[in-house]
Amino acid sequence: MSLKIAAEIYPKSASEIVEEPCLVVREYDEDRHKVAVEKLESLCEVGQSGKPSLVTDLMGDPICRIRHFQWHVMLVAEYGEDGEVVGVIRGCVKTVTRGNSVYVKLAYVLGLRVSPRHRRFGIGTKLVQHLEEWCKQKGAKYAYMATDCTNEPSVNLFTKKCGYSKFRTLTILVQPVHAHYKPISSSIAVLRLPPRLAGSMYNHMFSNSEFYPEDIDLILSNKLNLGTFMAIPKKYMSKCDLKRGILPPSFAMLSVWNTKDVFKLQVKGVSPLAHACCVGTRLLDEWMPWLRLPSFPDVFRPFGVYFVYGLHMEGKCGTQLMKFLCGFVHNMARDDGGCGAIVAELGQRDPVRDAVPHWRKLSWAEDMWCIKNLEDTKQNIPEKSDWYASRSSSPVIFVDPRDF
């Protein structure tokens, strides 16, 4: 798959036109592109000069974030006679619900990077167009992407140049992992559910939600999935039979995805004073864990993240049970060296949102999801039957852990 475009640049004298070398878009080849892609990723680190930045280490696997999808691809843009890699984009295709138990084939666009020296030449737009063509060949009817609402260049590229529409807004909740353990009430039982049982329960709980993946069984049986857990009051243990579908009056449920075996994060550019304060809180928490100080983890070295998904609660004790269950996951991460944070992403109207412990300063209030109908690219006029023209039938949006 390739595309050649001739661009024109104007010298200072504007007296002559110089034809730039061609741009070629092709599928990623590990032997040919790996080193160049890793170099490009380092040039596109999140953050501004002189300010703290969040760096992602893909641990030598540029396609790690899409590898666990059945249909996935990574495209690179090569520039000039030497084939310099100046842009990359990743994508995958999956089948998900659009609400009311209706399934649709959907493409997810992620990981768009363009070299700082080669921006504003339309390279990002060309990469998106090529990826969309690949997705349509796989049967995708819609494509979506996610970005921080404050990332104006990304929002403008997709909404103004690529025909995407602002669709849903979610919240990313971040809970740091402390040195102390979270207390778990002795009246609460935490059960680990077998993948098949968990999948059956999720199919029932999230059938009317949006973005619920058809291949949930593959997710729950993946080696990165650390388990599905349910918290219930011990007094209800005798009143439920999960295998027969008899649920307790109150319970909370979630699954845990281990992203630290896929990629690691690191914070750079923090002032010496801020660094010393963070280290100080950690030392106090380690020395006096009984005080349960809200310490800051060591994010100045590469650290991993636990992503929790499939969060669901029911009953009058549901909120309290969800908080205890999140504490249980925190303690799992506390015992797992190298895990610095627990992350959840939820719709802004999801009732579970208020029950999930998090630090507001570390969280993202608005993670914007934009969508496009790939079958209506010429006029791009939404019809009433179109997904992105209709109101959500449920406040719940299921976030696939493979998307994170």
| 370 and 360 inside one domain | no
**Chain-centre distance for alpha carbon 28:** 22
> What pLDDT band is residue 268 in, cutting at 50, 70 and 90?
confident
How far apart CA 219 and CA 131 sit, in angstroms, is 24
Q: Residue 256: CB partners within 8 Å, gap ≥ 6? A: 225, 226, 227, 228, 229, 306, 307, 308, 329, 332
- What is the torsional sign of CA 37, 215, 106, 98? negative
The total of structural domains in the chain comes to: 2
How far apart CA 341 and CA 344 sit, in angstroms, is 10
| 40 and 186 inside one domain | no
Q: Report whether 206 contacts 97 (CB < 8 A).
A: yes
Domain with 104, as residue range(s), is 23-170+366-380
Q: What is the CATH number of the domain that holds 202?
A: 3.40.630
Residue 346 pairs with which residues in a beta bridge?
171
For 151-259, where are the alpha helices, taking DSSP H only? 152-156, 195-205, 216-220
Q: Determine, yes or no, domain membership for 402.
A: no
Q: What percent of the chain has pLDDT over 70?
A: 91
Q: Tell me: the pLDDT tens digits for 296-307? A: 787 888 899 999
Identify the DSSP state of 4: -
| 127 and 248 inside one domain | no
- Residue 114, Cβ density class (10 Å: 0-12 exposed, 13-18 middle, ≥19 buried): buried
Q: Determine, yes or no, domain membership for 4.
A: no
What is the model's pTM? Answer: 0.88
| 157 and 186 inside one domain | no
| 343 and 237 inside one domain | yes
Q: Determine, yes or no, domain membership for 7.
A: no
Q: Tell me: the pLDDT tens digits for 127-144? A: 999 999 999 999 999 999
Q: Determine, yes or no, domain membership for 18.
A: no
Place of tokens 């090529």: 130
| 247 and 203 inside one domain | yes
In angstroms, what CA-CA distances link 130 with 162, 184, 214, 288, 399? 11, 50, 26, 56, 25
Q: Residue 220: CB partners within 8 Å, gap ≥ 6? A: 195, 198, 199, 202, 228, 255
| 133 and 27 inside one domain | yes
Q: Tell me: the pLDDT tens digits for 217-240? A: 999 999 999 999 999 999 999 888
Q: Determine, yes or no, domain membership for 310.
A: yes
**The most confident of 47-56, 187-196, 356-365, by mean pLDDT:** 187-196
- Better pLDDT: 382 or 394: 394
Q: Determine, yes or no, domain membership for 48.
A: yes
- Which of the residue ranges 20-24, 143-147, 295-299 would you say has the lowest mean pLDDT? 20-24
How far apart CA 123 and CA 115 sit, in angstroms, is 9
| 340 and 216 inside one domain | yes
| 96 and 203 inside one domain | no
| 49 and 79 inside one domain | yes
Place of tokens 């079958």: 375
Q: Which of 347, 401, 342, 404 is nearest to 216 (CA)?
A: 401
Instruction: Give the up-direction half-sphere exposure of residue 303: CA atoms within 13 A in the CB hemisphere.
Output: 22
| 108 and 148 inside one domain | yes
Q: What is the CATH number of the domain that holds 70?
A: 3.40.630.30
| 62 and 30 inside one domain | yes
